[in-house]
Structures are given as structure tokens and as C-alpha cells.
Amino acid sequence: MSHQIAVIPGDGIGQEVTPAAIDVLDALEVDFEFREGEAGDRVAEETGDPLPEATIELARESDATLFGAAGERAADIILPLREVVGSYANVRPAKAYPGLEAVKPETDLVFIRENTQGVYAQIESQLTDDLATLTRVVTREASRKIAEYGFEYAEEHGYDNVTIAHKANVMQETDGLFLEAAEAVAEERGADYDTELMDALAMKLVMYPEDYDVIITPNLAGDVLSDLAAGLVGGLGLLPSANVGDDNALFEPVHGSAPDIAGQGVANPSAMILSAAMMLDHLDYDDEATRVTDAVETVLAEGPHTPDLGGDASTEAFTAAVIEQL
């Protein structure tokens, strides 16, 4: 079955790592049709809009979207795109890949972050010049849905520990509802789980990351805790992510547009290629997903390395090495 894939390189090194991922996908026996769309600071300068309607349409009608990186206007691009593809689950593995110095190399966990509500509903009012409010929204439906996804993900990927993060001691109604709904899903499935207050979890993740596998979290908690975990494994540089909806999905590296090294052809495309591997997994090309992930890990372990890891390989040379390992 042919899949139509929207490709949105975006800003800075997005323009370099996205073609690298496409090259890797092209080297596989998969039936993808790629269509490119524009987004980011450059198109914003030309048209005033960082995310043109045509790009939104492209993402909407594709089976999946590969997104590179965004610069200054990241929130104005990535948040609408997540909504356009109907993604309710933001999947963020944090694992120490070989070749990276890590604060906690034993870290190997996956955040399943609710991707539609909480403070990201972005319902705000500037009531007076000196007073602003934000309405945080939590529904049972969205909470059940992310919990279902999280427990399913844990089962499919062979993870034992599932933790539900929350702050229901302070946000009693909203996170209370999130927690109640997520626990109900666990009970119905007969699944084991733990719950953790998000502040206590921040501390425990720093001290004992090996105790955790899959962490189901509200939106902002997932944003902060997954970046914390990125710190444990050596930074955002190598981390992929998926934004998964019922009929559509978007895959993006966790890193940004890295303007300091953009245009030099030396960006490390690992996170982007690993995001493409998450797309393969999502589209049920399980073998291909594993082949790509293994190839990236091998090259990260054996070299050649891009400058961020102390080597002098170009993006192209790194990508060629990955393709050779496939």
C-alpha cells in the first residue's frame, strides 16, 4: 500500500537533516510518495505566515508528516501542525544512544504525553493590563485516550513499568480527573501501574531513571519531564519523537533549528532519521523501523561522527554510513 508522506523541512538544520532522512527511507523497499511543504521563518518573512494554508492542507491529507525543525516561531508552527494531524499522543523516547556522554546512561524510557489539552488548549485572557488568566482543560475522553495509548504502547513494546504522572494534590479537579480516568483504564485492562506526583517524579527520574519504562503524563508535565530526561541522556540532539493521531501522525526530532551550525552541512541527522524510524514503526513497517534504528545505533557507536559528537563527518557522510549499515 502506498503512503503519502508530507515533508516539511522547516528552518535551519531542518533543511539538512530532513533530506538525510528521506535518503534513508529511499534506500528501503517502502512505497512512500513524498510531497514537500513550506513552514518557518523564511516563508514567514515572505508571506507573514510561518505555516501557510497549503502546508496545513498537505499535512492534513497525507498519511504522515515528517517535520524537520522550527526556529523563533516554533510554537506557531508545531502546535497547529500537531492539531492538524489530530495527534493526541506525543511519544518521546529518552534513551542514551552510544557515542553520547550521558549523566545517566542507564536511562531508557518513553514518555507518552497527552498532546491536545491542559495549558496547551491555549485559552488565555488578558483581563486587564495587569492580570491574565489561562484556562487549563482536562476531559475524561482525552485522558482515557492517552492512557489507552500508553498501556497499549507498553504492551506492544514489551515494557513492564507504567507510571501515571500528575499533580492532583494541587490541581484536584483537573489532574484529579486525568488520574481517575487513567487509573480506570488500567483497571479495565488489568494492567499494573504506579502513580507519581510530577514534582516527586522529577526528582526520582534524576536519581533512579532505571526504575521507569513508560510514563503517561499530562501535556505540560510531559513537556518538562521529557526534556529533563533528555538531559539525563546527553541532550536533545539525538532524540526523536512522534505525534500520533487516529488516522494521521507527525514525526519530528526533539531538537530545534540550531542556527549556529545551519547551512554548514555538518548537522547530526540521527534524531531526524530515528523519527523516520518511528514513522516506519507507526505505519507497520516494523522490520524496516528496526533496521533503520539499528543502523543509526551502529554508526553512532562506530563512527563516522558529526562534529557535535567530536568527529568531522558531514551530514551526508553520516547518512551514507547509515544507509550502508541498513
Ligand X SMILES: CC(C)[C@H](C(=O)O)[C@@H](O)C(=O)O
Query: Is the CA virtual torsion 175, 177, 182, 186 positive or negative?
Result: positive
Q: Report residue 268 as a C-alpha cell.
A: 547530526
Judged by beta carbon distances under 5 to 8 A according to partner kind, the member of a copy of itself, ligand X, none in contact with residue 124 is a copy of itself
Measuring CA to CA, how many Å separate 28 from each of 24, 59, 281? 7, 23, 13
Cβ-contact 235, 276 below 8 angstroms: no
CA gyration radius, the chain: 19
200 binds a copy of itself (CB under 8 A): yes
211 annotated active-site: no
Q: Report residue 85 as a C-alpha cell.
A: 494531524
Q: Report residue 170 as a C-alpha cell.
A: 494541587
Distance CA 270, CA 283 (A): 20
Q: Report the site for a copy of itself in 111-170 (rule: CB under 8 A).
A: 119-120, 122, 124-126, 129-141, 167, 169-170
174 binds a copy of itself (CB under 8 A): yes
145 annotated active-site: no
Stretch of residues binding a copy of itself (CB under 8 A), selected from 35-43, 50-58, 202-210, 245-253: 202-210
Distance CA 303, CA 323 (A): 13
The angle subtended at Cα 72 by Cα 33 and Cα 318, nearest 5°, is 50
Q: Report residue 143 as a C-alpha cell.
A: 485522558
172 binds a copy of itself (CB under 8 A): yes
129 annotated active-site: no
Coil, strand or helix at 316? helix
120 annotated active-site: yes
199 annotated active-site: yes
Judged by beta carbon distances under 5 to 8 A according to partner kind, the member of a copy of itself, ligand X, none in contact with residue 78 is ligand X
- Please state, as a whole number, how many other Cβ atoms lie within 10 Å of the Cβ of residue 48: 8
Binding ligand X by CB under 6 A: which of 4, 23, 49, 74?
A: 74
184 binds a copy of itself (CB under 8 A): no
Binding a copy of itself by CB under 8 A: which of 66, 198, 267, 313?
A: 198
Binding a copy of itself by CB under 8 A: which of 173, 192, 287, 302?
A: 173
Which spans of this chain sit near a copy of itself (rule: CB under 8 A)?
74-75, 79, 103-104, 119-120, 122, 124-126, 129-141, 167, 169-174, 176-177, 198-200, 202-207, 220-221, 223-228, 230-232, 234-236
Query: Which residues are designated catalytic?
Result: 120, 167, 199, 223, 227
Query: Where do contacts with ligand X occur on this chain (CB under 6 A)?
Result: 74-75, 78-79, 169-170, 199, 223
